[in-house]
């Protein structure tokens, strides 16, 4: 079913919010993020560095979250780390609390219970709500199909294009940066006005929160950062990461998620919920707050359990590397399908064909075979979910990220539709499209 949205009222509001023109990434300049058993580059490799100094017209950073983090720092000892006292001897542990909405036990992306009401497919003629109006209940949708929208893309011209694109293709969701790759948090008045206007237009809003790649928090609280054995803060290509074993880091991100829900976002999406994809040589100089030797994958699982306990009645999703659906180990980043699927409502593997190594799944050039690449990856994910279900575990809905950007080879509508077709033929009807500049194929 298509859920169309109106754009006139939103475009007027966005005009007041201002605009920043972000140059389109020269795809391929960031290198080819080839996935293998030990990934060496991020699956967001098509994302160019952003100059946060040029963002004065965007929703501004909410510094209240960093101020709260300072208070937290005073209450936690320097050695605060994961609550796991020792590495788990079992490959799995069942969720500490059940998700608010349990997906179907069958290997399908459909939730087990149908929403009680569906949003109208027609633009509303009513005036936009006042600033005081709050949307406390998430939208109930049969399917979530959406696009990533960076704050810089939310200018009047961009908004008209995006809403035309959504209306044409029956999309109903937007993924918006609440905390970006630089650690900048945007939940102030401008973001709140934008959220209210979008919600009024029946757009399902997903708050993207980048968890452990947070240079702002790492620099503000060096004790929470990954440390270097020779002293100082460890960095990957000059970018510091926070230590995934630090409990204050968990709390900081969950507090941001709570604030996003209060503002009106329907769903929380964890991105970079992993360790750095660094080489073994780079890791030799890294020091973590992990005196008990907890494995990376058990630590990521513990964070997801912590988030579930502290975000009741909240739809939670997580982004993972595309190869996580297939890999038997954690690829050095702590992401294991069986240790993540039971603890979130949705898993979104980043199944960009251009990010897979040549020869994967027997495909000589995966980027030139989008249908086969996505199909192979989803087949593995569905099989692993079925095995979990047989053991009595809740499993996450599959909502893959699909490629709509040029990398290695040009991508257009035919390539995007091939990926969508591969998913739909397997019963995976939810999906998200990624393009850093929000320039999607018509």
Rounded Cα distance between 404 and 417, Å, is: 10
Rounded Cα distance between 208 and 308, Å, is: 16
Tens of pLDDT, residues 235-249: 999 999 999 999 999
**Which carries the bigger pLDDT value, residue 87 or residue 376?**
376
pLDDT score, position 43:
52
Tens of pLDDT, residues 107-129: 444 434 443 444 334 434 444 44
Q: What is the pTM of this model?
A: 0.78
Please compute the mean of the pLDDT values over residues 86-106 and round it to a whole number. Answer: 42
Q: Residue 205: is its pLDDT beyond 50?
A: yes
Percent of the chain with pLDDT over 70: 71
Rounded Cα distance between 351 and 46, Å, is: 13
Please compute the mean of the pLDDT values over residues 213-227 and round it to a whole number. Answer: 98
Average of per-residue pLDDT values in the chain = 79
Tens of pLDDT, residues 160-181: 778 788 988 999 999 999 999 9
pLDDT score, position 160:
72
Rounded Cα distance between 386 and 107, Å, is: 6
**Do residues 378 and 424 touch, judged by C-beta distance below 8 A?**
no
Rounded Cα distance between 292 and 402, Å, is: 38
pLDDT band at 63; cut points 50, 70, 90: confident
Strands 173-179, 204-210: parallel, antiparallel or unpaired by DSSP? parallel
Domains by residue range for the chain, with CATH: 8-17+56-72+129-434 (3.20.20.80)
pLDDT score, position 66:
79
């Amino acid at each position: 079913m298509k859920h169309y949205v109106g754009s006139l009222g939103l475009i007027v509001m966005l005009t007041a919010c201002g605009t920043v023109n972000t140059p389109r990434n020269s795809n391929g300049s960031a290198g080819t993020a080839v996935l293998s058993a030990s990934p060496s580059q991020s699956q967001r490799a098509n994302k160019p560095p952003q100059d946060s100094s040029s963002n004065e017209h965007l929703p501004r950073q909410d510094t209240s979250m960093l101020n709260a983090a300072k208070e937290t720092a005073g209450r936690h000892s320097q050695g605060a780390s994961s609550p796991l006292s020792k590495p788990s001897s079992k490959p799995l542990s069942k969720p500490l609390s059940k998700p608010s909405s349990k997906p179907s036990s069958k290997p399908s992306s459909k939730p087990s219970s149908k929403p009680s009401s569906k949003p109208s497919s027609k633009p509303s003629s009513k005036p936009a709500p006042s600033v005081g109006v709050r949307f406390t209940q998430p939208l109930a949708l049969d399917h979530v199909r959406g696009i990533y929208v960076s704050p810089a893309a939310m200018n009047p011209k961009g908004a008209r294009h995006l809403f035309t694109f959504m209306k044409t293709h029956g999309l109903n969701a937007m993924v918006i940066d609440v905390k970006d790759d630089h650690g900048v948090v945007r939940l102030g008045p401008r973001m709140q006005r934008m959220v209210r206007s979008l919600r009024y237009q029946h757009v399902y809003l997903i708050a993207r929160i980048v968890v452990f790649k947070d240079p702002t928090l790492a620099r503000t609280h060096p004790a929470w950062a990954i440390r270097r054995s020779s002293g100082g803060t460890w960095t990957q290509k000059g970018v510091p990461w926070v230590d995934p074993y630090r409990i204050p880091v968990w709390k900081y991100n969950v507090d941001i998620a709570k604030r996003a829900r209060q503002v009106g976002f329907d769903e929380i999406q964890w991105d970079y919920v992993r360790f750095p994809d660094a080489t073994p040589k780079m890791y030799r100089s890294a020091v973590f707050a992990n005196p008990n030797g907890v494995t990376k994958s058990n630590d990521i699982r513990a964070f997801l359990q912590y988030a579930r306990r502290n975000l009741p009645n909240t739809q939670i999703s997580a982004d993972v590397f595309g190869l996580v659906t297939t890999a038997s180990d954690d690829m050095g980043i702590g992401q294991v399908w069986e240790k993540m699927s039971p603890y979130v409502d949705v898993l979104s593997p980043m199944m960009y064909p251009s990010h897979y190594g040549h020869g994967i799944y027997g495909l000589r050039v995966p980027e030139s075979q989008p249908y086969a690449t996505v199909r192979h990856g989803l087949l593995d994910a569905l099989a692993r979910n079925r095995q979990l279900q047989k053991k009595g575990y809740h499993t996450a809905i599959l909502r893959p990220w699909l490629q709509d950007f040029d990398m290695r080879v040009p991508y257009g509508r035919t390539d995007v539709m091939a990926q969508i077709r591969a998913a739909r033929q397997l019963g995976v009807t939810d999906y998200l499209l990624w393009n850093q500049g929000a320039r999607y194929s018509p």
